[in-house]
Amino acid sequence: KENIPVHEVTEGDMMHLTVEKPTTVNLSDIKLYKNNQPLLTSKNIHTETTSPTTLDIKFSPVELIDCGYYSISIRDQIQP
């Protein structure tokens, strides 16, 4: 069993997750998931490309409904 990082966040705070990707990977090759379901952007969840190799996912503010297990797939390969 692999060790998956766990981070506790307080409701009302801002949080961001950073995805590092190879330069050969297009944004369209990256899919975001919450509890194994596609993550939909909402009024408090936004994605932003901050460099050719970095994608930030920002939660502002964190809401109770944001609680869950987040993962990504790159070219259909799940990443922890």
Sheet with 54-59: list strands edge to edge. 15-20, 54-59, 45-51
With respect to residue 41, please indicate whether it lies within any of the assigned structural domains.
yes
Paired residues of 31 in beta bridges: 73
With respect to residue 67, please indicate whether it lies within any of the assigned structural domains.
yes
Which CATH number does the domain housing residue 43 bear? 2.60.40.10
- Report the predicted TM-score, pTM, of the whole model to 2 decimal places: 0.76
Residue range(s) defining the domain that contains residue 60: 15-79
With respect to residue 10, please indicate whether it lies within any of the assigned structural domains.
no
The predicted pLDDT at position 80 comes to 65
Residues of the chain with pLDDT > 90, as a percent, come to: 25
Task: Provide the domain count of the chain.
Answer: 1
**Residues 6+ away with beta carbon under 8 Å from 69:** 4, 34, 35, 36
The predicted pLDDT at position 79 comes to 77
Confidence band, pLDDT 50/70/90 cuts, at residue 37: very high
More confident residue, 79 or 10: 10
Average pLDDT on 40-44 reads 82
With respect to residue 1, please indicate whether it lies within any of the assigned structural domains.
no
